[in-house]
Structure 1
Amino acid sequence: MTALPRAAATALGVVAAAGAGALAYGSLIERNRFTLRTATVEVLPAGADDIRVLHLSDLHMAPWQTHKQEWVRELARLKPDLVVDTGDNLGHRDGLSGIRSALAVFADVPGVYVNGSNDYFGPSPKNPLRYFTGPSKHAHSSERLDTAALEGFFDSLGWKNLNNRAVTTEVNGTIIDFFGVDDPHRRFDKLERIPGALDELRENDDRGPRVSIGVAHAPYQYVLNSFVTHGAEVIFAGHTHGGQVCVPGFGALVTNCDIPRDQVKGLSLWRHGFHSAHLNVSAGLGTSIYAPVRFACPPEATLLTLTARAR
C-alpha cells in the first residue's frame, strides 16, 4: 500500500471511530442525561406572587424506562405550583404504566395538558434523513394507542384538558386563562374554536387582573401567530426535541416543523403583528424507541418562574 492510500485509509478509520463514539455517547449517555432548565418571565400583574411552572414534554415513555420515571418523580421535590404537559407522553403501547409511575406524585398539583401525535399512535421506524426534507410524515400503519386511558389518568390527577379548549384557573391568587389546541402536527388543532371559548370564559368571570397562556404540542408558526392574536402572554410547546441531534456551535439541524432553528428549544420571544408572547419550547425528555439517540441536546424539563412585572 502506498503512502497516499494508507493515509486515506487511516483518515477513514478515524472518521468511522469518531462516528461510532458519537453514536455510543448519544445513545448510551446523553439521552439519559436528564437536565432541569430554569428561567424567569415577568408577566404577572404587579404585586402578584410568583408561580413556579413545571413544563414537561415528549416523554415518549416505554414501560422499561425506569430511570426516566424515577427522575421525573424526583421533580416533585421542586414543589411546582402548576404543571404544563405539552404531549407525546406515550412511546409504547404499554407506556401508560410508566407515565403513571412518573406522574402520580403530582396528583395534588394543578395542571393542564394537550396531546401530541404519539399520544394517539405508536412509534414506527422512520428514515432520519427524511427530516431534512421537512416535518415527518405519518405512517398509516401506526398502532392506535389508548388515548382515552391517558386522558383519564391526567383527569384523575386533576389536570385540565386543553385540547381545542379554554379553561380558567386560579394559582397563587392569579387568575389564568389557559387555551390550547390538539396536536397541530396531525392537524388535529381547531383554532377556530378558541375565540368563542375565550369569550365564554371571560363573560362569565369578572374577577380581577389575569394572565393568558397558550398551550400546544407542536409550535407551528400559524398556531403561535394565532395564540398571540388571541392574547397569549406566555406560550408552552414541545415536539421539536430541540433538534435531538445538534452540532456544537451551530445548533439544531432540523425542527420537525416550521419554527426557526434558533427557537427550536428554550425561552424566546414570539412576535406577530404588533404583539408578542414569551415562548418556551421544551427539548423534551424522550426519543422514539426507534431513534434512541441525542447529541448536544440533552433531555430536559423546565422550571419556568412567572413573576410580577416591574411597576
Structure 2
Amino acid sequence: MTGALGLSTITWGALQTRDFRVVDYSLELLKPGTLQGRESFNILHVADLHMIPGQRKKVEFVQALAELEPDLVVNTGDNLSDMNAVPWVLDALGPLLDVPGVFVFGTNDYWAPQPVNPMKYLLDQKREPSYVDLPWEGMRAAFIERGWQDATHQRLEFKASGLRLAVSGVDDPHHKLDEYSKIAGAPNPDADLSIGLLHAPYRRVLDAFEADGYQLALSGHTHGGQICLPGGRALVTNADIDRERASGLHRYGDMWMHVSPGLGQSKYAPVRFFCPPTAARIRVTEQR
C-alpha cells in the first residue's frame, strides 16, 4: 500500500511538470500619455525551460506564447538541461525571437545538470555545479542573430513599441557570477521604463537595483519552490529571497519584482508539487 501511494505521488508530480500555464499581472508604472492611446505595454517573462530533447508539449506551449503578442520578451535563463537541447530551445522560442527580447543566463545554461540529493534541496543547501560545459555559446549567438540582446553586465537602452527602455542585467548570482559594479548607477532618467534582470533572486543584487532606482526586476531560478505545500507555499527558494516571494509579483522596497516559477526543472528532478510550470505576461500601464 505504501509503495503504491509513493508511486502515485511521484506520477502526479511528474504530470504536473506538463501542466503549463500563463498568468497575467498589471502594473501602473508609466507616466500618463506614454502609451499614446494604447492600453498597455506587454512583457512576456519566461525562465527555466530546462529543455530536454523530446519535450514536444513544452515546445508547443512556448511557441503558442507568441499569440499573446508581447511587446518585449524577457528570458532569465536556465534554458538547457541536456547537451543536445539547443535546437529544441530555438524551436520553442522561434516565434518569440521575432519580438524584441533581452536575456541573461543561469548556470544551468553553462553547465550540464547532474543527479541531485533531494535532501540537499529540501534543506536549501547550495549544490556544486558539474562544470561540464553545455553549448550555450551557440544558443547565445542564435538569440543575438535573431535580434535579442544579451543584458549580462550590460546597460542597454532601446525602443520597443515606441517605449524607451533601460535594461540592465547581471550574470547568475547563485554561484556568485554577478558583478554589479559593471552596471552600477541609476538608469537613464529619460527612459519610460527601467528593468533589472538576474537569473536568481539574491538580495544583494535586488537591493542594488532598488537603490539605483529601477522600477522592475525580473528573475527565475526558484521554480516557485518546485516542491510546495497546497496553495503553492514554497518550502525552499534555492536563493536568499524569502519563501513568501519565491514566485509571482511582489513589492521589493520601492521596486516591483517578478520571480518566475519557470517552465521546466532538471531532468534529474522531474517533478513539481502544487507549483505548475508558468510563464507570465506583465501588462505595464499608465499611472492614474
For the aligned pair, the TM-score class normalised by the smaller chain equals over 0.9
DSSP-derived class of the 1:91 partner: coil
State the match for 2:206 in structure 1: 224
- Displacement of 1:20 in angstroms is 2.5
Instruction: Say whether residues 1:149 and 2:138 are aligned partners.
Output: yes
Q: How far off is 1:167 after superposition? A: 0.2
Aligned match for 2:103, one of 104, 110, 113: 113
In structure 2, what is the Cα distance between the partners aligned to 1:38 and 1:307? 13
Q: 1 CA distance for matches of 2:160 and 2:239?
A: 32
Out of 250, 260, 270, which is 1:292 matched to?
270
Of 241, 245, 250 in structure 2, the residue corresponding to residue 263 of structure 1 is 245
Q: Post-superposition shift, 1:249?
A: 4.3
Deviation at 1:87, TM superposition (A): 0.2
Equivalent-residue separation in structure 1 for 2:219 and 2:31 (angstroms): 23
2:165 is aligned, of 170, 176, 179, to 176
1:242 lines up with 2:224 in the alignment: yes
For residue 132 of structure 1, report the CA deviation from its aligned partner. Answer: 3.2
Q: In 1, Cα distance between the equivalents of 2:184 and 2:13?
A: 43
Which of 45, 54, 76 aligns to 1:64? It is 54
- Taking structure 1 as the reference length, the TM-score comes to 0.87
CA contact (8 A) 2:97 2:147 kept: yes
SS of corresponding position for 1:195: coil
Helix, strand or coil at the partner of 1:256: coil
Counting matched residue pairs gives 284
1:89 maps to 2:79:
yes
1:10 aligns with none
Name the CA shift for 1:135/1:43 in 2 (closer, same or farther; >3 Å). farther
Q: Partner of 2:184: helix, strand, or coil?
A: helix
Distance 2:70 2:55 in 1: 24
Question: Equivalent residues in 2 for 1:40-55 (5 A)?
Answer: 40-49=26-35, 50-55=40-45
Counterpart Cα distance in 1 of 2:33 and 2:114: 49
Is 1:102 aligned to 2:92, yes or no?
yes
Q: Deviations over 1:100-123 (max 9, x none)?
A: 110111232000000000110011
Which residue in 1 is equivalent to 2:6?
19
Q: Percent identity?
A: 39
The match for 2:21 is 35
Q: Distance in 2 between matches of 1:150 and 1:97?
A: 8
After TM superposition, give the deviation of residue 16 of structure 1 in Å.
Answer: 4.5
RMSD, aligned CA: 1.6
Deviation, 1:263, is 0.2
Which one-letter code corresponds to 1:183 in the other structure? D
Quote the Cα distance in structure 1 between the aligned partners of 2:93 and 2:191.
31
3-state SS of 1:84 partner: strand
In 2, the alpha carbon distance for the partners of 1:157 and 1:300 equals: 24
User: Partner amino acid for 2:124?
Assistant: G
Contact 1:135 1:257 in 2 (8 A): no
Per-residue deviation, 1:147: 1.9
- Once the two structures are TM-superposed, the CA of residue 253 in structure 1 deviates from its matched residue by 0.8
Letter matched to residue 186 of structure 1? H
Of 247-256 and 173-182, deviating more is 247-256
Residue 180 of structure 2 aligns with which residue?
191
Q: How does 1:195-210 map to 2 (within 5 A)?
A: 195=184, 202=188, 208-210=190-192
- Contact 2:155 / 2:166 at 8 angstroms: preserved in 1? yes
The question of whether the paired residues in 2 share the 8 Å contact of 1:104 and 1:157 is answered with: no
Distance 1:182-1:306 versus aligned 2 partners, 3 A rule:
same
Amino acid at match of 1:241: H
How much has 1:255 moved relative to structure 2? 0.5
The residue identity in structure 2 corresponding to 1:21 is S
Residue 162 in 1 paired to residue 148 in 2?
no
Select the structure of larger CA radius of gyration.
1
Unaligned runs of 5+ in 2: none
Distance change (3 Å), C-alpha of 1:193 and 1:52: same
Q: CA deviation at 1:19?
A: 3.1
Code of the aligned partner of 2:154: R
Mapped contact 1:45–1:209 kept (Cα < 8 A): no
Distance 1:41 1:86 in 2: 20
Instruction: Please say if residues 102 and 150 of structure 2, whose CA atoms lie closer than 8 Å, have aligned partners that are also in contact.
Output: yes
1:250 and 1:84, CA in 2 relative to 1: closer, same or farther beyond 3 A?
closer
